[in-house]
């Protein structure tokens, strides 16, 4: 544990505050992370110094804004090792990026085709596919991954010649387990399915290389990786992006318009209708830079050590059921039989500790685990060992207070 | 239902809380005074929609007074329900409709236990009690 988060915390002034007269302990990072000063500065600098609409050239500020906006695309492309910046499409976030693909591929689906997802998906990577299946007569199938996330040989039978789309999360938002991504992608590719990876829970922690993953689409949100809300990324391989029908149309995405027809622009603009979220893109690029300037392996090791510390402490408590893996995760998801997670959450909150209680937008997974919801403490690079211990101490206090004699 | 504390003593107790932690503990203590519903009574029909935690409410309207029973899957909401029930228990439907339940509950100093995502739930409970 050589890494010291204390100096890093100076970049996150929001963390130095009291919540109900207790020091704020922010452990809801899987929902959204806090933003470093460099991201806040980048956003403010945009509005203070070069706010203008992009791509319309024409004047000094617009040129400046356009340059920085497109540099942001370059930065994000480098961040996930995309081959070219035109493969980066801005979206509102992970959810919109998945919807762009679900609507964009609709014209290629026929009745009886299969869309395959896993049992560890967030609703964002489930509902758009289910609705696409309803619209096209395709069949939604679910690969029944266990909460350990191990690959089992029998899973291969879920990939068939009718599998047109395979969509899977890299890391479960609810329990923090990694899916057997490479094995699944290999199967999907053998059956010529389009592949989409939901990286929302991965990007803040793991260096991403979309070329090594070799998936058709990779999607993520800015706000879960120290960037602003309202901005996310749809990465796609050229051929995969080319076949997408734009799910929104309007300004900016066109080359020529008559009343009879419209000629769409080239990538990436073809899929970006309307004035983009300019300061979001610039803020996200600043977040990428913030991360690449860190020793990312040290950050990850630190985050994992905090989760492991909590796991080790709470695993000893007979009344606590933990659903996360013991190692290689940055969050701990747990429940206490006969005590509602909302009650636990309320007591933690009263002590200034922010965690998340509930189903984590994963109702089918909660049903698979046999719980109504879990309490999730999720770590980021700025969390300290003291905070991890405080969470454990206060959780045990809450259990005492809420246990019926 | 005879063992419900008096509303005025609940009000006094909750208003005396000086921190979120004290309010939490007071609500947990109050929750123990609730007569729980049976599994058969917790029907979808009796469920109040819009609450983050599950809440069931059964109102038996009679000529003079009405009997109201309620339950929740969270202790905190059970504590809030004890406060609500002690306020409306024994009142007729007409009397309940005349009460400003929302203002009364807001005076209990419950802070974020009433607001945020639980607010809609409380409003839904109030609506149902007035019907």
Chain B residues in contact with A21 by the CB 8 A cut-off are: 19
Going by pLDDT thresholds of 50, 70 and 90, the confidence category of residue B129 is: confident
Question: How many CB pairs lie under 8 A apart between chains A and B?
Answer: 35
Asked whether the beta carbons of A132 and A108 are under 8 A apart, the reply is no
Catalytic amino acids of A? 361
How many angstroms separate the CA atoms of B30 and B6, rounded? 11
Write down the domain spans for chain A: 5-31+295-402, 39-292
**Inter-chain residue contact A342 with B74, CB threshold 8 Å:** yes
Contacting residues for A209 by C-beta, under 8 A, at least 6 apart: A80, A81
pLDDT (0 to 100) of residue A289? 98
Contacting residues for A249 by C-beta, under 8 A, at least 6 apart: A262, A273
Asked whether the beta carbons of B121 and B107 are under 8 A apart, the reply is no
- Minimal Cα–Cα distance from A230 to chain B, Å? 22
Phi-psi region of A195 (alpha: psi -120 to 50; beta: other; left: phi over 0): beta
The pLDDT tens digits for A192-247 are: 999 999 999 999 999 999 999 999 999 999 999 999 999 999 999 999 999 999 99
Nearest by CB to residue B24, choosing from A340, A347, A372, is A347
**Inter-chain residue contact A340 with B53, CB threshold 8 Å:** yes
Asked whether the beta carbons of A9 and A16 are under 8 A apart, the reply is yes
Nearest by CB to residue B24, choosing from A21, A340, A350, is A350
Chain A residues in contact with B113 by the CB 8 A cut-off are: 346
Q: What is the CATH number of domain A5-31+295-402?
A: 3.90.1150.10
**Inter-chain residue contact B21 with A340, CB threshold 8 Å:** no
How many angstroms separate the CA atoms of A330 and A171, rounded? 10
Q: Which of A389, A355, A391 is nearest to A373 (CA)?
A: A355
The percent of residues above 90 in pLDDT, for chain B, comes to: 51
- Minimal Cα–Cα distance from B57 to chain A, Å? 19
Q: Which residue carries 């945020």 as its tokens?
A: B116
Q: How open is the CA angle A167-A173-A177, to the nearest 5 degrees? A: 85
Backbone angles phi, psi at A172, to 5 degrees: -70, 130
- The two tokens of residue A291 are 């991360």
Write down the domain spans for chain B: 7-130
Helix (H, G, I), strand (E, B) or coil at A195: strand
A61 touches chain B (CB under 8 A): no
How many angstroms separate the CA atoms of A402 and B28, rounded? 7
**Inter-chain residue contact B76 with A343, CB threshold 8 Å:** yes
pLDDT (0 to 100) of residue B63? 66
CATH topology for the A39-292 domain: 3.40.640
The pLDDT tens digits for B5-21 are: 999 999 999 999 999 99
Chain B residues with CB under 8 Å of a chain A CB are: 19-21, 23-25, 28, 52-53, 73-76, 112-113
Contacting residues for A219 by C-beta, under 8 A, at least 6 apart: A91, A94, A97, A98, A101, A196, A197, A198, A199, A200, A232, A233, A234, A235
CATH class name, domain B7-130: alpha beta
Going by pLDDT thresholds of 50, 70 and 90, the confidence category of residue B1 is: very low
- Minimal Cα–Cα distance from A381 to chain B, Å? 29
Going by pLDDT thresholds of 50, 70 and 90, the confidence category of residue B119 is: low
Going by pLDDT thresholds of 50, 70 and 90, the confidence category of residue A144 is: very high
């Amino acid at each position: 544990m050589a890494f010291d988060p204390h100096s890093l915390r100076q970049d996150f002034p929001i963390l130095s505050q009291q919540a109900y007269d207790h020091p704020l302990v922010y452990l809801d990072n899987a929902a959204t992370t806090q933003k470093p000063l460099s991201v806040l500065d980048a956003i403010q600098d945009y509005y203070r110094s070069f706010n203008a609409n992009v791509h319309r050239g024409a004047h000094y500020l617009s040129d400046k804004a356009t340059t920085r906006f497109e540099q942001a695309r370059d930065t994000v492309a480098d961040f996930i090792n995309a081959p070219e910046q035109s493969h980066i499409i801005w979206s509102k976030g992970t959810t919109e990026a998945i919807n762009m693909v679900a609507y964009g591929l609709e014209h290629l689906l026929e009745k009886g085709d299969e869309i395959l997802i896993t049992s560890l998906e967030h609703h964002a990577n489930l509902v758009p596919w289910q609705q696409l299946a309803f619209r096209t007569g395709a069949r939604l199938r679910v690969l029944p991954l266990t909460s350990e996330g191990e690959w089992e040989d029998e899973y291969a039978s879920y990939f068939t010649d009718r599998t047109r789309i395979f969509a899977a999360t890299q890391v479960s938002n609810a329990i923090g387990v990694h899916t057997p991504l490479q094995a699944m992608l290999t199967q999907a590719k053998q059956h010529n399915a389009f592949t989409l990876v939901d990286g929302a829970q991965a990007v803040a922690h793991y260096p991403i290389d979309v070329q090594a993953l070799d998936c058709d689409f990779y999607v993520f949100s800015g706000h879960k990786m120290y960037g602003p809300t309202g901005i996310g990324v749809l990465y796609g391989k050229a051929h995969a992006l080319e076949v997408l029908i734009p799910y929104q149309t309007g300004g900016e995405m066109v080359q020529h318009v008559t009343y009879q027809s419209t000629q769409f622009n080239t990538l990436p603009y073809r899929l970006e209708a309307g004035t983009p979220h300019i300061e979001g893109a610039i803020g996200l690029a600043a977040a990428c830079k913030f991360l690449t300037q860190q020793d990312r392996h040290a950050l990850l090791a630190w985050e994992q050590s905090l989760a492991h510390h909590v796991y080790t402490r709470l695993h000893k408590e007979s009344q606590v059921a933990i659903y996360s893996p013991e190692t290689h995760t940055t969050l701990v998801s747990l429940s206490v039989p006969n005590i509602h997670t909302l009650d636990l959450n309320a007591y933690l909150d009263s002590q200034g500790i922010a965690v998340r209680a509930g189903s984590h937008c994963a109702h089918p997974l909660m049903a698979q685990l046999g719980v109504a919801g879990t309490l999730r403490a999720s770590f980021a690079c700025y969390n300290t060992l003291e905070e991890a211990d405080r969470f454990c101490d206060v959780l045990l206090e809450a259990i005492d207070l809420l246990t019926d004699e | 239902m005879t063992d419900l504390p008096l509303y005025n003593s609940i009000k006094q107790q909750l208003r005396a809380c000086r921190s979120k932690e004290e309010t939490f503990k007071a609500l947990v203590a109050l929750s123990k005074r609730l007569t729980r519903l049976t599994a058969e009574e917790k029907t979808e029909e009796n469920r109040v929609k819009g609450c983050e935690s599950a809440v069931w409410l059964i109102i038996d309207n009679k000529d003079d007074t009405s009997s109201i029973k309620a339950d929740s899957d969270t202790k905190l909401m059970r504590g809030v329900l004890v406060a609500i029930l002690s306020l409306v228990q024994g009142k007729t439907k007409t009397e309940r409709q005349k009460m400003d339940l929302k203002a009364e509950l807001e005076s209990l100093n419950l802070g974020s236990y009433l607001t945020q995502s639980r607010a809609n739930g409380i409003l839904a409970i109030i609506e149902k009690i007035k019907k």
